[in-house]
Amino acid sequence: MQNEIINILPNQEDYIIGFADMGELIKDHYPYRYAVVIGKKLDDSIIDGIEDGPTMPYYELYKSTNDELNLITAQISRFLEQNGVPCVQIKSTVQESDIPEEFAKTLRMNFSHKMAATRAGLGWIGKTDLLVSEKFGPRIRLATVLTNHRFENLGIPITESRCGKCNICVEECPAQAASGKSWNVSLDRDKFYDAFKCRDMCRKLSMERLDKKISLCGICVCVCPQRKSGK
């Protein structure tokens, strides 16, 4: 079953996939324990162009990549259900009905693709709260399928940052949202990163550059040296 899920990916060179044991981490919101996490590589030529802020090609790439991931996770969900395995698709894009009542106060969702990816061993959390993958750095988008099926080969969780002393994203962030502290599983997001500062700057840049009432920036994605431009 695990290999068949992997083979659903249309082009494995442009994706990462992992299988995670979420333990008790999501039990308050989802009656599932295991996760299939998919990451889709973003186009380097477009990401390289957002060093000073969001562009229209980046906005279109962001949307199309989310749509592609949602189609793939829908296929995985159908495959599992056809094999008698209950599951739920967690889309790459936030659905209005999924936004918790407390979101405006916390900017936290009930489920984190990034957390699932670290549990699957796909990467770690960077200093600006990005998922930094070994293969593509932060130049990815994520989507997830949750289930209670225990897969044979589960990822080994990554529990601390591998950014070391690198502070490029911290220095280049126009919102100055990051403290420079390195993430680990015991460090709450708010101790190293201010999501509200980031959100507010993203809104400002999106209006200035795109004339859209959205939250999009991408500078930290662009400047991260981890696998920058395929290196």
CA 79 to chain centre: 23
Looking at residue 102, its pLDDT comes to 82
Dist. CA 220–CA 231, nearest whole Å: 17
Looking at residue 97, its pLDDT comes to 59
Dist. CA 162–CA 183, nearest whole Å: 9
Q: Tell me which residues of the chain have a pLDDT lower than 70.
A: 94-98, 228-231
Bridge partners (DSSP) of residue 140 are 41
Looking at residue 100, its pLDDT comes to 76
Pairing of strands 87-90, 140-147: antiparallel
Dist. CA 217–CA 67, nearest whole Å: 19
Is the distance from CB of 76 to CB of 99 less than 8 angstroms? no
Strands in the chain per DSSP E: 15-21, 34-41, 87-90, 123-125, 131-133, 140-147
For residue 187, which amino acid is it?
L
pTM for the complete prediction? 0.93
CA 43 to chain centre: 16
Looking at residue 96, its pLDDT comes to 59
Q: What six digits make up the tokens of 33?
A: 């324990």
Looking at residue 89, its pLDDT comes to 97
| Burial grade of 93 (CB within 10 A; 0-12, 13-18, 19 or more) | middle
Strands in 67-150 per DSSP E: 87-90, 123-125, 131-133, 140-147
